[in-house]
Amino acid sequence: MRSRPDDLIVAVVTSILLIFIIELAPDSPIRTLVGLFFILLLPGYVSVSALFPHKGNVDAVERIALGLGLSIAVYSLLGLTLYYVFSGIYLNMLEFTLTGYVIVVAFIAWERRMKLPEDERFVIDLDIDLSAKSLDWADRLLVVGIVIAASVSLIMLSLTLSAPIQRDYFTEIGLLGTTGMIGGYPMDLTAGEGGALNVSVGSHEGVEKNYSLVVLLQPENNTGSNITHWRSGNPFTGVQPLEEGLAMAYNFTLQPSEYLNQTLHFSAAQNGTYKLRFMLFIEGQELSGQPYREAWLWINIKS
């Protein structure tokens, strides 16, 4: 009796072949044919094979029908996972993920099948009669229902993947205490007393961006930026003595999903209530204009 799992070998070879076709002949009609066979059948078929290695559990027609339905489920779950983890579905990512799934699950199915006695292993019988006459009414309804569901799902999936993905691009800025947590801010200080807080900037712009972070101490009754003079140098180096109207700028570049985390050590000698502003400007903006993002902290300075 033939016991070699040719069906699983075909599944793995087809999956690997599809990668080469996509890379070498992306516009070929062969890609469409192989791709449809891959998407509609293989992920579900290898899953069914792993679940039912015995030949008596599920026959060939039922395996194909279940494989069609389960492929849609596997494809959808993997697609949703990739979408939410990586903020989008990309061809290469989906291609290698599905191929890896088919190869791993096919290997599991192979191992489970080989552990069975040879006469209990499922093998593809090429002489099986797939005509409608060989099926009872329940099997006919099952096959027709699965084919209709697969066709509708493929059309909806194609429309979804062909539509542009709308992503929200933004940059975030926040202030944290010296422990890296919310709270513990230096809000009440005496004149000349040192304070410290952490500044965090995260880029989610999708591409590399250049930023300028302006630090400004501003009286509570003033509006606008009210910058009177600038101090050069890195504001996050050493202890910075802050003065009313004094601004310091820090330029930096962030990659997508990259964060800047710096600690500002400062002191102030003037009594009063001040707004310590951290104004973030993105490339192309004038530092005298409205900031792209902003965070601030109210500070009371007493003698």
Count of Cβ atoms closer than 10 Å to residue 128 Cβ: 11
C-alpha span between 71 and 58 (Å, rounded): 17
Average pLDDT over residues 212-225: 84
Average pLDDT, the chain: 81
- pLDDT per residue over 126-142, tens digit each? 444 545 555 566 666 76
Residue 297 confidence (pLDDT): 93
Same domain flag for 106 and 217? no
* Range(s) of the domain holding residue 224: 170-302
Residue 139 confidence (pLDDT): 64
Same domain flag for 208 and 111? no
Give the domain-ending residue among 162, 196, 225. 162
Q: Are 143 and 22 in contact (CB under 8 A)?
A: no
Q: Is residue 243 part of a domain?
A: yes
Give the domain-ending residue among 123, 139, 162. 162
Q: Is residue 255 part of a domain?
A: yes
Same domain flag for 137 and 180? no
**pLDDT exceeds 50 at position 265:** yes
At position 199, the amino acid (one-letter code) is V
Residue 115 confidence (pLDDT): 84
What backbone phi and psi angles, to 5 degrees, belong to 70? Answer: -70, -30
- pLDDT per residue over 47-85, tens digit each? 888 888 877 767 777 777 788 788 888 878 887 887 777
Cβ within 8 Å of residue 21, ≥6 positions away = 28, 30, 31, 34
Same domain flag for 59 and 185? no
- pLDDT per residue over 85-129, tens digit each? 776 666 677 778 888 888 898 899 888 888 888 777 777 654 445
Return the higher-pLDDT residue of 160 and 173.
173
From residue 207, alpha-carbon distances to 170, 181, 200, 252, 255 in Å are 11, 28, 19, 14, 6
Q: Is residue 212 part of a domain?
A: yes
What count of residues does the chain have?
Answer: 303
Give the domain-ending residue among 112, 145, 162. 162
Q: Is residue 247 part of a domain?
A: yes
Q: Is residue 1 part of a domain?
A: no
Residue 1 confidence (pLDDT): 45
Please give the distance of CA 142 from its chain centroid, rounded to a whole number: 36
Residue 10 confidence (pLDDT): 82
- pLDDT per residue over 149-163, tens digit each? 666 666 665 665 555
Same domain flag for 156 and 14? yes
The pTM score is 0.50
Same domain flag for 149 and 239? no
Same domain flag for 150 and 15? yes
Q: Is residue 257 part of a domain?
A: yes
Average pLDDT over residues 172-199: 90
Task: Give how many domains the chain has, as a whole number.
Answer: 2
Same domain flag for 40 and 111? yes
Same domain flag for 42 and 128? yes
Same domain flag for 19 and 157? yes
Residue 126 confidence (pLDDT): 47
Same domain flag for 144 and 196? no
Same domain flag for 87 and 177? no
Residue 196 confidence (pLDDT): 94
> Which tokens go with 157?
């999936």
Residue 150 confidence (pLDDT): 62
Q: Is residue 138 part of a domain?
A: yes
Task: Report the CATH number at residue 251.
Answer: 2.60.40.10
**pLDDT exceeds 70 at position 285:** yes
Q: Is residue 65 part of a domain?
A: yes
Measured over the CA atoms of residue 48, residue 54, residue 60 and residue 62, the dihedral's sign is negative
